[in-house]
Amino acid sequence: MEVIVSHVNLDFDGLACLLAAKKLHPNAKVALTDKQHPTVKSFLAIYRDQLAFSSYENIDWKKLKKLILVDVASVKRTGIPLPSISTEVETIVYDHHSPKDDDLTTGIRYIKNYGAAITLLFDHIMEQGLSISPFEATLFGLGLYTDTGNFTFQQTTARDLHVASILRELQMDVTLIDRFQEQVLTAAEKQLLHVLLTNGEEKVINGITMFVTSHEQSSYIGGLATITRKVLESTGVDAVISIVKMKDHVYVVARSSSERVDFRSLMENLGGGGHSQAASATVKKTALLDVKKTVQTSLNQLIRKAITAADIMSFPVKSVSPNDSINSVLEQMYQYGHTGFPVLNEQNELIGVISRRDVDKATHHGLGHAPVKGYMTTQLVVLSPTTSLETIQETMMKHNIGRIPIVNEEKQVVGILSRTNVIEQLHKQTNHEEEPVLQTIKKQLSPDIYKLLIDIGTLADEQQISAFLIGGVVRDFLLERPNEDIDIVVEDDGILFADLLSKKIGGDVKTHEKFGTATWTTPSGLKLDIVTCRTEYYDSPGTLPIVRPSNLREDLRRRDFTINAMALQINRTHFGTLIDFFQGQEDIKKKKIRILHTLSFIEDPTRIIRAVRFAIRFNYKLAEQTYHLAIDACSMLKQVSSTRFLHEMDLLIKENSIIPGVQLLNDIGVWKSLFDLQVKEHQMASIKRLESYHFQDPFSYLIALLYKQKAWKHQIKRYAITTKQQQLVKQLEEMAKTVLPSNITLSELHLRFATFKEENLLLFALLIQHKKLEQYIVKRQNLNPLLTGEDLIEQGIKPGPKFSEILHQLTCLQLDQKLLTKKEAIDWLLQTKF
């Protein structure tokens, strides 16, 4: 067993290094010390689910084979429950500190005097060409910024600064770093901090606590932005405005931890600028009192409408009964990908919560048959739908919980909030991007369809239903590609909503009860699928999924790739708002095909072929992890039905992507896995010849790949589904037995192959690269007979078996160009005795 550890009193550099080391050593477990810096604890209270780390007590240290130390070189400083490390245990050290007496001196040691250890691990990640997500870049940045004191500490190196630049390009969120980092103040800065804390006054405005403080001094000191952030941290309020006159000028700095606060308008009025939650202004040669009055009169305009639990919670809520077995709950956790459920009694009242940890404990002790009520948590933390986002964050951190049921006044569970919901809201961009998307929609859709979407959204608002465009059409809006294949998904009953649309707008509805979907044909004849949000799970790889109703997030999560997992809200009140939980828009910018989760190809191996198809269609590349996961999952294609496999190949052909598709599938290892075949030039040449003749049957292309293999008939057998395909294999076997001399004539070829289907014969010719046979087929296809049966009757020949023999001989003579006209054919007929 491999284990990654860092030092006790874990800081952000150590935490970032744990995550980085996990990327470098994917088979290792990360063991997290419970002794952490306070800011790290606060971070983990929100983001723990993003980091699949284990506690020390959950590691079986007796099985340790390799120990990886990051941001530390001493086993003693890790706090792991081992008095010493056995000589049989391999060790790897990644550290940036100066050597100490108790440091490991054996094993593999990567030591560099960087300002932060994360810089060292980042270099290794870059050397291996591993991809880095925005979240990873942000945590790496937190480690880098905090350990270098925002690059002001003496040990900061040029490489640290360069890595920060790269992380920013990788979507490092500097606002999140600003929220969690700490910085050391000078004596003068500490004095000013104390004064501002003393002089300040709290004001509660629309649920936001604002701390406004001021001071006047004769000398100037820098760092007011840092001091203001310290005031924010020290007071625990939502926002701080510091107004300080130093010498002749008044300096105004504002910081907020709440997205509901927007300082930009205030600072613009004062001649400054900045971002919504971090802005400043310098008002020259002005009295402190005048600036304070301006600030005080502007406070009410700085607060946006509160984001509440109702805005971000997930619903409908999946729940379990207190009498359900632990095993059944575990199965549902697998099906839905949840890590916990609320427990409701027969009156639908909330009586407990069962978590994955509770379930794991019970199953570990062989109690999977036991009822939920014996293991659920009954000390509940619940919130109402009107609870603000700020209170939700505080509650999660205070109780260190990642899931909160939302209960209405009737004590009914109406939603559930997870850390993921909060994280998504915190990471939403404040520079609203829906307007450009809205303009794209208008440009790409016909006026009639655009108006229809507006009407659908208006009805959804009336029914208090969230409605969205979903899937490929959203992707193509962003790519500005034509696509009017419109699917509407609703967080409600899709069939019921389709009926409402039919009653209000007109048209007909065809329902599909099993899947909760309906096809609505509008009065103009346009067909739209109206779909209930749903989730799905796979009983086994390669099988079709089992589908259940769900919410938008889970509906998008079941999709194949991030670029296909976006939605556009069409409710009139939010028309054109892009929903992008999985950074599909970012992957479009990077031109990457990326799966949504690591088991995606295992659950549905045909996604490997789809990934290739989309990569070719858009001229994208498979993201690195996606590419390697596809390689690992190739063998699972053996479990896919022949029909599904050939269907995916058929789509490649229809998109004119069969040649690059076959090659990319070969690079991934699909043909090696399925047929123990590494495609070489002669097979690609056969594929190209088939494509030049516009072959459309994917089965023919499979034959072209396998034909030169000794066991090709055995390998192709499972894909020969139809009678036509089986007949093709049989005829290829028969044709292969025919001897074809190099000087053979077209008539001789006709004698041998007249009874074979032209399409099958052409495939055979292309496979064996026989130009004369290919010429024969082309000439045979375009041959206009010189004589017909009627012509024979006119010449006095009675109908009978002779007809076929005569016409066959005429064809042979015509193929060899010995007869060119009808007159010549009649003369030949008269001269020949029949």
**Which amino acid is present at 34?**
D
Looking at residue 807, its pLDDT comes to 86
Lowest mean pLDDT among 417-426, 554-563, 697-706: 417-426
Most confident of the following: 38-52, 126-140, 543-557: 126-140
Q: What angle do CA 577, 581, 582 make, to 5 degrees?
A: 130
The answer to whether 608 and 473 have CB atoms below 8 angstroms apart is no
Looking at residue 800, its pLDDT comes to 78
- The tens digit of pLDDT for each residue in 558-582 reads 889 999 999 999 998 788 888 888 8
Determine what percent of the chain is predicted with pLDDT higher than 70: 95
Split at pLDDT 50, 70, 90, the class of 84 is: low
Looking at residue 221, its pLDDT comes to 86
**What's the pTM value of the predicted model, to 2 decimals?**
0.59
**Tokens standing for residue 265:** 């308008």
pLDDT of residue 730 exceeding 90 = yes
Split at pLDDT 50, 70, 90, the class of 540 is: low
pLDDT of residue 733 exceeding 50 = yes
**Tokens standing for residue 581:** 């939980």
- Which residue is listed with tokens 């603000």? 388
**DSSP one-letter string for 95-155:** E-SPP-TTS--SSEEEE---SSHHHHHHHHHHHTT----HHHHHHHHHHHHHHTTTTTSTT
Split at pLDDT 50, 70, 90, the class of 765 is: very high
User: Residue 644, Cα to own-chain centre: how many angstroms?
Assistant: 23
Looking at residue 655, its pLDDT comes to 92
Looking at residue 435, its pLDDT comes to 45
Radius of gyration of the chain (CA): 35
pLDDT of residue 434 exceeding 50 = no
The answer to whether 527 and 509 have CB atoms below 8 angstroms apart is no
- The tens digit of pLDDT for each residue in 198-223 reads 999 999 988 889 999 999 999 988 77
Mean pLDDT of all residues in 419-447: 67
Class of residue 446 by CB neighbours under 10 A (exposed 0-12, middle 13-18, buried 19+):
exposed
pLDDT of residue 779 exceeding 70 = yes
pLDDT of residue 325 exceeding 80 = yes
Sign of the torsion formed by the C-alpha atoms of 135, 136, 141 and 146? positive
- The tens digit of pLDDT for each residue in 595-614 reads 998 888 988 999 999 999 99
- The tens digit of pLDDT for each residue in 615-640 reads 999 999 999 999 999 999 999 999 99
pLDDT of residue 550 exceeding 50 = yes
Mean pLDDT of the chain: 88
pLDDT of residue 834 exceeding 70 = no
Looking at residue 430, its pLDDT comes to 37
Between 796 and 600, where is the model more confident? Answer: 600
Mean pLDDT of all residues in 74-78: 86
Between 297 and 790, where is the model more confident? Answer: 297
Lowest mean pLDDT among 41-55, 208-222, 397-411, 413-427: 413-427
Split at pLDDT 50, 70, 90, the class of 195 is: very high
Mean pLDDT of all residues in 163-173: 94
**Tokens standing for residue 55:** 């506690």
Lowest mean pLDDT among 110-124, 282-296, 459-473: 459-473
Between 499 and 102, where is the model more confident? Answer: 499
Mean pLDDT of all residues in 218-241: 88
Split at pLDDT 50, 70, 90, the class of 429 is: very low
Angle of the 607-618 helix axis to the 624-633 helix axis, nearest 10: 140
Report which of 207, 284, 197 is spatially closest to residue 242, judged by C-alpha positions: 197
Domains of the chain with bracketed CATH: 2-180 (3.90.1640.10), 187-302 (3.10.310.30), 309-426 (3.10.580.10), 434-590 (3.30.460.10), 789-831 (no CATH)
Looking at residue 620, its pLDDT comes to 96
Q: What separation in angstroms does the CA of 151 have from each of 72, 122, 205?
A: 21, 17, 36
**Measured distance CA(156)–CA(147) in Å, rounded:** 9
Looking at residue 447, its pLDDT comes to 87
- Which residue is listed with tokens 């690591």? 598
Looking at residue 433, its pLDDT comes to 41
pLDDT of residue 674 exceeding 80 = yes
Secondary-structure percent of the chain, ordered helix, strand, coil, rounded to 5 = 50, 15, 35
Phi, psi of 700 (to 5 degrees): -65, -40
Helices marked H in 340-480? 356-364, 389-399, 419-426, 434-444, 447-462, 472-479
Split at pLDDT 50, 70, 90, the class of 364 is: confident
Exposure string for 166-192, b = 16+ CB within 10 A, e = fewer: ebeebbbbbebbbbbbbeeeeeebeeb
Looking at residue 431, its pLDDT comes to 37
Looking at residue 239, its pLDDT comes to 94
Looking at residue 171, its pLDDT comes to 92
- The tens digit of pLDDT for each residue in 635-664 reads 999 999 999 999 999 999 999 999 999 999
